[in-house]
Amino acid sequence: MRIILLGPPGVGKGTQAKILVEELGIPQLSTGDILRSAIANKTPLGVQAKAIVDRGDLVSDDIVNGIVSERIDEADCAKGFILDGFPRTIPQADALSAMLADKGLRLDAVVEITADADTLVTRVANRAKESGGARADDTAEVIRKRLEVYKELTEPLVAYYSERGQLRTVDGMVPVDEVTAAIRRALNA
């Protein structure tokens, strides 16, 4: 199964992706995790991406498209994958569609998780406290920036996938296990 989890920062995409990994036996592909790991390891990609990620902007479409294209060719993605944090722009969605067509693969579903803006700011702020400042992009100022970037560049994907009949929406304001149950229902629908 090939799934996209779509939704703003702090809505619980990562949490739900990790649960679905266990349930479905397919890997989570988080472009954010891949970038953070590159930054921590000071690879050429990490060095290039650090300032952009730290201020809450998006790294270039070409960079993330390349990361995803290479990653889905790996053996553990043969049975499917859960995209978490990609695509984040219309050009990325077009690139994903082209790369899947190229590889003879199809997308099964796009699950949008929703929550109101105040809840998101609180959740990301709590995540920052719990992680002891592990993420430079979890400060109040950068959280606001990331929410703005989401609204402007990523939210248009809701209409994009809805027009293609691929969008299913679940409420992310309920407890974690209820969100998981709603996603399960959405995937079986």
Return the residues of window 134-153 that contact ligand AMP according to CB under 6 A.
137, 146
Place of tokens 């979890």: 138
135 is catalytic: yes
**Residue 133 CA: distances (Å) to CA of 69, 73, 88, 128:** 31, 33, 24, 5
168 is catalytic: no
42 is catalytic: no
The DSSP output letter for 153 is: I
146 is catalytic: yes
55 is catalytic: no
Paired residues of 3 in beta bridges: 82, 109
Catalytic one of 36, 50, 88, 168: 88
Shortest separation between residue 58's beta carbon and ligand AMP, angstroms:
4
Task: Specify whether the CB–CB gap between 179 and 171 falls below 8 A.
Answer: yes
Tokens at 161, concatenated: 């996938």
Q: Which residue is nearest to ligand AMP (CB)?
A: 32
Residue 45 sits in the site that holds ligand AMP (CB under 6 A): no
28 vs 92, beta carbon nearer ligand AMP: 92
Residue 53 sits in the site that holds ligand AMP (CB under 6 A): yes
Contacts of 179 by beta carbon, 8 Å cutoff, 6+ apart: 12, 16, 113, 170, 171, 172
Write out the H or E segment, with its range, that includes residue 188: helix 176-188
Number of shown-chain residues binding ligand AMP (CB under 6 A): 17
109 vs 150, beta carbon nearer ligand AMP: 150
- Minimal CA–CA distance to 67: which of 42, 90, 54, 84? 84
90 vs 105, beta carbon nearer ligand AMP: 90
Residue 172 sits in the site that holds ligand AMP (CB under 6 A): no
Shortest separation between residue 61's beta carbon and ligand AMP, angstroms:
7
Q: By the criterion CB under 6 A, which residues form the site for ligand AMP?
A: 9, 31-32, 35, 52-53, 56-59, 64, 85-86, 88, 92, 137, 146
